Amino acid sequence: MKKQPLFNKINREVLKKDLHNETFQRVTISFYKYFEIQSPALDATRLMFKELESDKRTSKIDLGIGIYRDEKGEAPVFKAVKKAETLLLQTEVSKSYKTPAGNSEYCKNILKLVLGKDILNERNNRIGAIQIPGAGSGLRIAGELIKSKLKNKLISIPNPTWGQQTFMFQKSGLKITNHSYYDSTNNFLNFEDMICDLKKLKSGDALLLHGCCHNPTGADLNADQWEEVAKICKKNGIVPFIDLVYQGLGRGIDEDVLGIRKLVKIVPEIIITISSSKTFGVYRDRCGLIAVITDSNKVKSDFLETMLSEIARELYFHPPDHAAEIINILLDNDILKNEWLLEISRMQKRIVSLREKFSKSLQNKLQTDYFSFLNVQNGMFSLLPISEVGIKTLRTKNGIYLMPDGRINIASLPENRIDFIASKICNKFNIFN
């Protein structure tokens, strides 16, 4: 049987005739006018990662990307997660689509982990949550929600904050203002100025708060400060939006969410997005949730979930389910859950140890206690007072890659090279300029 060509041969005469056809020419010109592709301008962060990728030095050190690395420099897979995944592969019977709301059981499990049983029972049918593909989508959904439902269409974000948050809120069309958070000159959480700024916000404004392990500073609110923020939000009608990404990596699974629980008990309306990437090590599987919590009896969970799902449909439609099911299996199995809790506890303790060693090395080399601030911070990140020139010098001369704003990933420090990194930071340039 003679095979039919996928495409008929071009009739050159017909093509010539078409090329001279006025309509064809107009369409062709329009196509190239409106579909012209230009290389997008790279910001400082993307330029840094591009340089890192092209750097062929085997000795280069990546302290930029926000992942936990073990002693071997790898982003490890939790043993408990791997066991749960094995169970999933043995029992999974379908890979059919989930609805835009995603995996409801995953949402229940994660909210229980974050909010605790008491709050979950108390609010019960006044919490609406959907599963999402990671923290980035949560930011965008929250941005769309704030734009469509809050009267002022404004969000106040900490100075400094993770750059992607600002980017996503801009894409959502929100008005963005800043509130004081961290004094980068003296390296402490400037709570007094923060409160002054929060008191200026109006009813119907949104407020971005990092749930724990603030990115990029590592400086967190304590319990009393969380309560004060909560009271201001309630009094002035401010809607907090909590971005929780690092639960378990600061002080512990429950300790890292005590502030959030306090906030939820006081403030009537809250938006919260939660990422499972770091807490369960499922970075590339993209898994998280966004929830709206209210104390109104007029608004039920189904309504809130529908509202969130409608936004999700506009952005991506279906979230991936693989990691969500793995986490369900893990959290529903006491043996696996306890194994996971032990694993993340070890990670948290190792981060604390790396902080202490790095701080000690810097202080010894400079003969000053200036870097003691590292020891009172939490989580993966710290913001080092390094000049732009200094950051570039570290990158080009020494193969040490920090974020352009001076953020360093403590959790990626190779323990056997801490002294080397500290010496380059201290000796190559004046870090205080």
Q: What is the rounded CA–CA span in Å between residue 103 and residue 289?
A: 9
Q: What is the rounded CA–CA span in Å between residue 373 and residue 226?
A: 21
| Cβ neighbour number for residue 301 with a 10 Å cutoff | 17
Q: Is 31 exposed, middle or buried (0-12, 13-18, 19+ CB in 10 A)?
A: exposed
Collapse the DSSP code of 179 into the 3-class scheme (helix H, G, I; strand E, B; otherwise coil) and give the result: strand
Collapse the DSSP code of 408 into the 3-class scheme (helix H, G, I; strand E, B; otherwise coil) and give the result: strand
Q: What is the rounded CA–CA span in Å between residue 165 and residue 66?
A: 14
Report residue 127: phi and psi, to 5°: -120, 120
Report residue 28: phi and psi, to 5°: -65, -45
Report residue 195: phi and psi, to 5°: -60, -40
Q: Cα separations (Å) of 45 from 21, 361, 406? A: 48, 27, 11
Helices 388-398 + 418-427 axis angle, to 10: 130
Strand ranges, E, within 110-267: 127-132, 154-159, 175-180, 182-183, 188-189, 206-210, 239-244
Is residue 371 within 8 Å of residue 359, measured between CB atoms? yes
The residues facing 291 across adjacent strands are 129, 272
Active site residues: 162, 243, 278
